[in-house]
Structure 1
Amino acid sequence: MATRKQRIQRGTTRISVPKEPIWRLQVHQYQEMIRSGILTDDDPVELLEGWLVTKMPKNPPHRVTTQITRETLAHLIPSGWYVDDQEPITTKDSEPEPDIVIIQGDRRDYLARHPYADEVALVVEVADTTLQRDRTSKKRLYARAGIPIYWIINLPERKIEVYTKPLSNAEEPDYQEKQEYSPTDTIPVILNNQIIDTILVETLFP
C-alpha cells in the first residue's frame, strides 16, 4: 500500500502582491460588488485572502474528474449533508469556489447566504495547472478557516493529497498532517471524525 503520512513542512509561497497601491477587499465588500452587478458570473474571479484572484480555465480531465468525484461522494454521504461543486463558501477573509465540497444541512438552508467554513466537512480541489495555488494560498486559507479535511486530487502525479488537523490560529496557518494516496489505495470519507465509507482512488481519475 502506497499511502504515506507526513508532517507538513512550513514556509509555503504566498500570493504575489503588486507593488502599486491597490485596495484589498473584505468579504462583505466583495459580496456587495456581486449584488450590485459590478461582478457577474462572466467574471472569472474569486476572493482569496482579501485579493481578487483570477480562476484558472478548466481542462477536460479536470472537468471529468470533478464530476466523477462529486457523483461518487453524493452516493456515499448520509442524510443531513450534501455535495456541491464550484460554488462559493464564506470564510473570514475569502470566498473561494472549491471544485467539490461536502456541506452540512440542506441546500435550502442557504438561500440567504453561502455556507460558512464551520458547516463544511471536506473541501476538494482538482489540480492540474492550479497545483501550486492549491498547495499554497488555497491550503492556507482552508486551514485558517478550520476546515477539517482538504483533498487535492493531483492529476499530473495521479495521487490524492489529504491534509488534516488544521492550525487555524498559527502565524502561518497550515495543516499539521499530510497523507498521500496512490491509485491502488482506498481513501476514507470522513464526516464528524467518523469514517462513513471508502473510495478506491483510481476510480476518481479519468
Structure 2
Amino acid sequence: MTAMAHEPLTQEDVLLESFLALDTPDGVRAELIDGEIVVTPPPDGEHEDYIELILMQVYRRSRTDMQFAGNKGLKVDSGGAWPTDHVIPDGTFAPRRLRLYRTANSWMPCDGVAMVVEVTSTRPQADREAKRRCYARGVVPLYLLVDRKAASITLFSDPEKGDYREHRTVPFGKPIPLPEPFSFDLDTADFL
C-alpha cells in the first residue's frame, strides 16, 4: 500500500484553520477580514443603545416585516486574495418571510440579507473601510454605519465590484431615508 501525497497547506489555508480554531472568551468576537484576524472586546452600553434604537424603528416602521440577528456571522468570498472573510456585523436584517436565521449555522452566506449595521467601537477604521468593502463583496444591498467619533450615520447602497457606489451621510439628529424593503426615514434625534 502506498501513502498518498498530500498537497502542502497554503498560507491562506493555515490562516483560515487558525481562525476557525480560535476559542475566544464569552463576549469577545473574532473575525477574519481581508486576510487579518480581528479580535474585538464586548461592546459598551452606548454601542448597544444605538443598535436598540435602530432595531425598534425597523420593527415599528419598516414596510416589510424584518427579522434581526445581533452578531450573526457572515461568510463572504474574498475574491481569492485571501481566505473567505468571516465577519460579524453588529446587526443583520432580513425579510422575516425568508427566515434566514432558522437553519443558519454559525457562519451563513449573505444571500437574502437586506441590511447590515455597524456601530464604530475600538477599530472604527475597520468599520469604515474593510467591513464596508467586505459587505459590498457579499452583495449586501444596504450597509448602515453609525460613526460615533464623527457623530454621523451613513447608508451605503448599490454594491458593485467590491464597494458601494452610493452613500449618504447625515449628522446625528437628522433623519436618513432607508429605501425598500424598509421604506421609512430612520430618526436619529435620540442619537444625540
- TM-score where L is the length of structure 2: 0.74
Alignment equivalent of 1:179, drawn from 164, 168, 174: 168
Deviation string 1:25-84 (CA, Å, 9 cap, x unpaired) is 599847863xxxx535545311213432112442321122122222322333433x3011
> Cα RMSD between the aligned structures?
2.9
Distance 1:113 1:24, change over 3 A: same
Partner of 2:6: none
Asked whether the equivalents of residues 157 and 166 of structure 2 are also in contact (C-alpha less than 8 Å), the reply is yes
1:129 Cα shift? 3.2
Partner of 2:143: 150
1:119 matched to 2:104? no
Greater Rg by CA: 2
Runs of 4+ more than 6 Å apart:
none
Gaps of 5+ in 2: 1-9, 78-83
Counterpart amino acid of residue 145 in structure 2 = I
1:157 Cα shift? 2.1
Counterpart amino acid of residue 59 in structure 2 = A
Partner of 2:187: 200
1:106 matched to 2:90? no
Counterpart amino acid of residue 65 in structure 1 = Y
Counterpart amino acid of residue 98 in structure 1 = P
Counterpart amino acid of residue 23 in structure 2 = L
- TM-score where L is the length of structure 1: 0.70
Asked whether the equivalents of residues 181 and 201 of structure 1 are also in contact (C-alpha less than 8 Å), the reply is no
Gaps of 5+ in 1: 1-21
Partners of 1:142 and 1:26 lie apart in 2 by 24
Counterpart amino acid of residue 128 in structure 2 = R
Asked whether the equivalents of residues 19 and 32 of structure 2 are also in contact (C-alpha less than 8 Å), the reply is no
Partner of 2:3: none
Higher relative contact order (CA 8 A, sep 6+): 1
Q: Percent identity?
A: 21
Asked whether the equivalents of residues 30 and 47 of structure 1 are also in contact (C-alpha less than 8 Å), the reply is no
Say which SS state the counterpart of residue 136 (structure 1) adopts: helix
* Paired residues for 1:55-134 under 5 Å: 55-77=40-62, 78-79=64-65, 81-92=66-77, 93-104=84-95, 105-106=98-99, 109-112=102-105, 114-134=107-127
